[in-house]
Structure formats: C-alpha cells, structure tokens
A = this chain, B = another copy of it.
Amino acid sequence: MNKPTAVVVGVGAEQGLGAATCRRFAKEGHHVLVAGRTAAKIERVASTIVAAGGSAEPVVIDATSEADVAQLFDRAMVPGNGLEPTDLVVFNAGNNQRIDFRELSAQAFEDFWRVGCYAGFLVGREAARRLAPFGRGTVIFTGASGSMRGKPGFAHFAAAKAGLRMIAQSMAREFGPQGLHVAHVVIDGGINGHRLLSRAPGLLTQRGEDGLLGIEAIAETYWHIHRQGRSAWAHEVDLRPFKEPF
C-alpha cells in the first residue's frame, strides 16, 4: 500500500501547533507537506521529521495567495513517489494580538481577516474541490475562543475566527454527506508554544504544569478526528487546559 499524504497550512516554529501536527501525522505514516511562510522554519520542521525516520517536505506558501494555495494542492494531490493523494488537511494559520478598538486601523482589521479567514477559505475551497470527488478525507480548521465570542480588544481577531468557523460549518453540511470530514477545533487558552512564550516568557511558570495548551496534546486530538469512523464524526471540539476558566 502507498503512503498517505497530509497537508498542514500555517506551520512556523518547531515549538508550535503546526509543527507538532506535522510530526504527529508523520509518526502515523503520513508524508507531510509542511506549508508556511518562512522557509527556514518549515525546512527545520521537515528535516526534524525526516531525521526521526518520517517523511516530510517543506512548501513555502503565502496562504493568502490563491495561486500559492492552488499549487500546494496540485502538489498534494499528485505527490508522486508511491505517495497517495492527500486525505488530510489542516488549516492552522492566523495571528492574535490585542488592539484597542478605537485605535484599530482599517488595514489591521483587513490583515487579520486575510490571514485568519480568507486564507482559510482558499484552503477550504481547494480541499472541497480536490478531496470531495474521492468521497473521503479530513479537513480540520483551528479555531479559538474568539470564534465564539467577541471581547474588548479582539474584534478583529474574533471577526476573522468567527468567519472561519462559518466556512467550516458550511463545508461540513455540504461535503460531510459526500464523505469529506470537516471539523473545527476551538482552542481555548494559551498554547504552550514558541509564539506565546516569546511574548510572555514568565507565563509558563505562572500557569504551572499543564496550565497552557500542550501542542502534542492538541495534535493528538487532531489525529483522533482524522481516525474517527464516518458513522460518528465530530464537527466541533473545544480544547482547553484543565485550569482554564471558561
């Protein structure tokens, strides 16, 4: 049997959710297309996987570019070398930052949407176009508590994330019956990864053991979602650290 292929969009530092997801899928035997903006970062993620005996290749893309996303899927669907067309896609791009609403520039509002929602649409649409005809496959969108609630200082983030959630819902209702599993995972809380810790170095100590979301633990649930039998698919799952108030 040929090796299956997975695509993870929005990969950055090794200590990030995207990278952990790539490693998890590789460990299960997938060849992984490690897609992200920064060549050095994704090359490192891919080479770590290969060094551990897995299979991966970096693909530099701007996820807000229609052409880049199309090319990524061209590659993912005809991966060559005894690889199967991709059956597993994760959209993980997006930023977060508190910005005072009255100071929020129109450009910033648009930028957050373009990375967090528009790019998700591009990836979702390609996945629907390419995977649905096979009648199988999984597409997972990474959400946040902002997907469900708008809070002061986060209008731009929540507007993008809530939009992404609606894309996931619309896709699930249309393509689920065609055999494509579309899921939306609400990540509620701080992720114990490079992005957060470089901004708030003391946070890890402050929150204590398991007080931040573990990237491997999240990736574990992503893999579980992919493995679910189609007679009992999850569409929406919320994940948070045990201490997180909600």
CB-nearest residue of chain B to A209: B231
Contact of A170 (CB < 8 Å), options: B101, B113, B229: B101
Beyond A109-B121, A231-B210, A238-B235, is A169–B174 a contact (Cβ under 8 Å)? no
Q: Are A242 and B179 in contact (CB under 8 A)?
A: yes
Q: Is the interface of A mostly helix, strand, loop or mixed?
A: helix
Question: Which residues of the partner chain B approach A242 to less than 8 Å between Cβ atoms?
Answer: 176-177, 179, 181, 230-231, 233
Report if A192-B231 is in contact (Cβ < 8 Å); known contacts: A177-B243, A181-B242, A237-B237: yes
Q: Are A229 and B243 touching (Cβ within 8 A)?
A: no
Number of chain A residues whose Cβ lies closer than 8 Å to a Cβ of chain B: 78
Q: How many Å lie between the Cα of A214 and that of B231 in the bound state?
A: 5
Cβ–Cβ < 8 Å partners of A211 in chain B: 231
**Listed A/B pairs (15) with beta-carbon separation below 8 Å:** A102-B125, A102-B128, A102-B129, A158-B167, A159-B166, A159-B167, A161-B166, A163-B163, A173-B246, A214-B232, A216-B229, A220-B232, A221-B232, A230-B242, A232-B241
CB of B229 within 8 A of CB of A217, answer: yes
Task: Determine whether the beta carbon of A106 is less than 8 Å from that of B229.
Answer: no
User: A160 contacts the other chain (Cβ, under 8 Å)?
Assistant: yes
Question: In the complex, A242 Cα to B174 Cα: how many Å?
Answer: 10
- A218 on the interface (CB 8 Å rule)? yes
CB–CB A232/B228 < 8 A: no
Of A128, A165, A166, A167, the most chain B CB neighbours within 10 A belong to A166
A114 to B219 alpha-carbon distance, docked (Å): 34
